[in-house]
Structures are given as C-alpha cells and as structure tokens.
Amino acid sequence: MVKIVKSIALIPSVLLTCFWLTTANSYEQAEQLPQEQASNWDDEWADDWQDVPKKSPWQISHFIEMAYGHFIQNNVVESTSALKEVRGRINIDYSHELFELGAKGDFLYDGVLKKAIFQTREFNIAFSPLNNLDVKLGRQVLTWGTGDYVFLNDLFSKDWQSFFSGRDDEYLKAASDSIRLTSYWEKFTLDLAWTPEFSPDHYLTGERFSFYSPLLKDNVAPAEYFFVDQTKDAQFSARLATTIQGVEYALYGYKGAWTTPIGVNSQGIPYFPKMNAWGASALTPISHGIFKFEFSYYNSIEDKQGNNPIIPNSQIRALIGYEQEIAKNLSLGLQYYIEKTQQYEAFTESNVFADEQVDEFRQLSTMRLRYSTLQQKLIYSLFVFYSPTDQDSYLKPSINFRYDDNLSFSAGANIFSGDKDYSFFGQHQENSNVWFRVRFSF
C-alpha cells in the first residue's frame, strides 16, 4: 500500500515540476518573502518558537489536482467521462493596512472538452471605507442562506456541472463579478450584492451531462448546439440579518432572473425569464443540534397568471432542517424541502406536457452522514436526496483521505435513479458516475 501511495505521490511531483515552470514569475516574488513564508516549516520545528518574524503582506499557496470520473451507464454525451482534468491553482493574497487583494486562478487541461482553460476564480479588492462598512469589489464567491446543497434565497451562481461530476465542493459555488457591501449596525447586518452583468448557473448543456428533452421524449446532449439567449441584465441581492436571544434571523431579497435558462423565448430558444424573490430564515441551536427554517417566494414576473407554458410559474419554497452529532465523530443532517408551484391549475391547463409535470407540492428530503476517523484524516460522507413526489433520488457517497498536509485522495460517486425518465433526478440516471481525485497542496 505504501508503495502505491508513493508511486501515486510521484505523479503530482512531476506535474508540480511543470507547474513551477509555468508559474516561475510568481515564484520570483515568492523568493523575496521572509524565510518563514517560503521555506518548509516542517523542518523548523524546535523546542523554542519565540521569534516573531515580520509578517509578509504576501500569502501564496497552490495546489495541483488530477481528477477522473467515469459514467457507469451508457450516456448520449460524447465522452465516457464527465471529469477528466489536471488542474493547477495559484492563490495570491496581498494584505495592506487599508485593503486586501485576493487572486485565485485555475489553469486546467479539461480532457472532456479537450482544451486548456484558465479560470479566474477570485480577483477582488476588499476594504472598509467606513467604520461599519466592508466593501468587496471584483470576482468573488457569494453565499448565504441555511440550506445544505439545497438553495432557496441563495440565488448566486452555482456550478451544477462541477457538483454532478465530483469536483471539490468549492466548485459548486461559481464566482461572479460583483460588488458586495456589508454594513454593520448595532443590531443588524445589511448585505447588498450587485452583479452588474447577469451571472447564471453553470447549467447542463449536454457537453458533460445529458438531460431530458420533453419534445424528443429522450435524453439529449446538444453540447455546442445548445443555444441559449443570454442576458446581460444586472442582479441585486440583499440580506438583513440579526440575532435575537441566540436565534439567527435573516430577511432576503433578489431582483434578477431565473439562474438557469428554463424559459423559452418567441424564437423557441431557451432564456432566463425575469424573476424576483424574497424570503426569510431562522436558525437556532436546539437540544445539542442546529435547527433551521427557510422559505422563499419566487415571483416569476413574466408569467404572473401562470398560464404561459414556456415560462416557469411562481413558486413558494420552504425548508426545515436539523443536524446533530449523533455519536462521537459522526454527524447527521436531515432536511425536508417543499416547492409549491403557484397557479397550479393554470399551469396544468396550459402545459403541453401535463403528463410529465411536477407535483403542485414537490417534496424533497435529504440526509447527510459524515464520519471522521484516524484523527480526521479519513472522512466518510454520504449525502442522499430523495423525492417522495418525483420518486427519484440522488446519492453522493465519498471518501476523503488526507495522507499528510500536502497530499489527499478522494473518491466517490454520483448515483441518480428514478421511476420516470423526466423527473428532476430521474432524468440523470445515465449521468451516474464514479470519480477519483488526488490533490497536492503546497
């Protein structure tokens, strides 16, 4: 076993050498860092640790990751794999008394798309122009709300392709070019996020995963032929949060569009119908665990009557959840989610595919089990989505082994099943896959 681990460890070190060549310029900067930053701190351990070096304003870190996944059923997509990539991340932060600069970029060779890509994950400046105001400007990841893998008031961009393919959870949240203002008042915190140019989800296009076409009554993978009428409209998001006697409350608002192209325009092309949302959440510790509640009203303003079959109806979404450590190192999280389609009668009457339509009260339950052992080096995790109304499910088992501070291995699966070819998870049966990742951080 040790031998295998060692030979696997060799692969990233070869890649690492390549990476050093490509990032030589940034390394010249790194060489100017104080010894403490640049050297291998493992060797510095001594009985005494009293010298406090002057803190460098630069923080640089990297990782190299190889990931491979494989479909376990025949799929209409071109590749047999949804994940086949080598990725190098460089993360550079600069801290000044008055501001913080953050930059994170991924170079990757994507074997599924057969091309090299550079992705700017973060590129932003953060500063506090007033005592009670924080500003973050630029490409950033935004998150709020209480759901675990279920999103109600968090309408920030998600990357479903990453989520379904077995990439690290980090990639479920896609970055957006935004301005975030957070102001702190005596009892409240007010967040405003403005995304000047619409930042949609990384939805399924058929490039990596297939999806159900109600017209063809089968799964399709149009890939580059999946035309979407893009929008450039802005998105506004707001959150007002407070804590009263240990209970965390928040109100949310959103003005923008549906974040996946689930409308069809007059030319018959998918597009992002306008949508506004508002909602609230509460979260509190109860009986050694955390209880949460969240709801949201999605106002699909282009189809207020609910009788336009090619634009989604408004929805009320509600979630309750509870999580607790049920035994030493074993935690359990449960959620129940209901999505009510408004004007359901009008929806049914106008729907051409009424026999395939979602229930008025679509329901979804989730369970997360997480067990850590070997002093947190080995983590077993299982996340299950099950919908009693759609009669479909999505299982996400995974194992993560942290060999040391640099090297970690992960393996897992995305298993979809369902009685019907058209339901939310059921349509993805052919997309079921297993995956493996190895990451070297330094």
Partner 1 sequence: MIKIFGKALLIIASYSWIMSSANASVDVQDIINKSNLASYYAGDDGSAQARMIIVDAKGNKQMRQFTILRKDQEDLGNQDMLVFFSRPTDVQGTVFRVTKKVKADDDRWLYLPALDLVKRISAGDKRTSFVGAHFYYEDVSGRNPAEDNFTLISIDDDSYLIKAEPKDSSTVEYAYYQLAIDKETYLPMQAKYFDAQNKLIREMQVLSVKVIDGFPTVLHAKMTQLHDGSYTEMQFRNVKYNVGLPDSIFSERSLRTPPKAWLK
Which residues here bind partner 1, judged by CB under 8 A? 41-42, 45, 47-52, 55, 59, 61-63, 91, 95, 97, 126, 128, 134, 140-143, 169-170, 172-173, 182, 184, 189, 241, 246, 248, 283, 285, 288-290, 323-325, 328-329, 331, 375-377, 402, 404-406, 408, 441-442
- Which of residues 223 and 382 has its CB atom nearest to partner 1 in the complex? 382
**CA separation for the pair 18, 31 (Å, rounded):** 18
Q: How far is the CB of 298 from partner 1 (least distance, A)?
A: 22
Q: How far is the CB of 52 from partner 1 (least distance, A)?
A: 5
Q: How far is the CB of 303 from partner 1 (least distance, A)?
A: 32
- Which of residues 204 and 379 has its CB atom nearest to partner 1 in the complex? 379
Q: How far is the CB of 189 from partner 1 (least distance, A)?
A: 7
- Which of residues 140 and 210 has its CB atom nearest to partner 1 in the complex? 140
- Which of residues 62 and 274 has its CB atom nearest to partner 1 in the complex? 62
Do residues 251 and 291 touch, judged by C-beta distance below 8 A?
A: no
- Which of residues 136 and 428 has its CB atom nearest to partner 1 in the complex? 136
Q: How far is the CB of 399 from partner 1 (least distance, A)?
A: 17
- Which of residues 324 and 351 has its CB atom nearest to partner 1 in the complex? 324
Do residues 3 and 22 touch, judged by C-beta distance below 8 A?
A: no
**CA separation for the pair 416, 412 (Å, rounded):** 13
Q: How far is the CB of 206 from partner 1 (least distance, A)?
A: 27
**CA separation for the pair 40, 340 (Å, rounded):** 55
Q: How far is the CB of 431 from partner 1 (least distance, A)?
A: 24
Residue whose structure tokens are 């999605």:
298
- Which of residues 323 and 359 has its CB atom nearest to partner 1 in the complex? 323
- Which of residues 346 and 378 has its CB atom nearest to partner 1 in the complex? 378
**CA separation for the pair 263, 200 (Å, rounded):** 13
Do residues 382 and 366 touch, judged by C-beta distance below 8 A?
A: no
- Which of residues 103 and 141 has its CB atom nearest to partner 1 in the complex? 141
Q: How far is the CB of 408 from partner 1 (least distance, A)?
A: 8
At 35, list the tokens: 């010894």
Looking at beta carbons, which pairs linking 21-29 to residues 24 or more positions away fall under 8 Å? 22/88, 22/107, 23/62, 23/88, 23/90, 26/60, 26/90, 26/92, 29/58, 29/60
Q: How far is the CB of 343 from partner 1 (least distance, A)?
A: 35
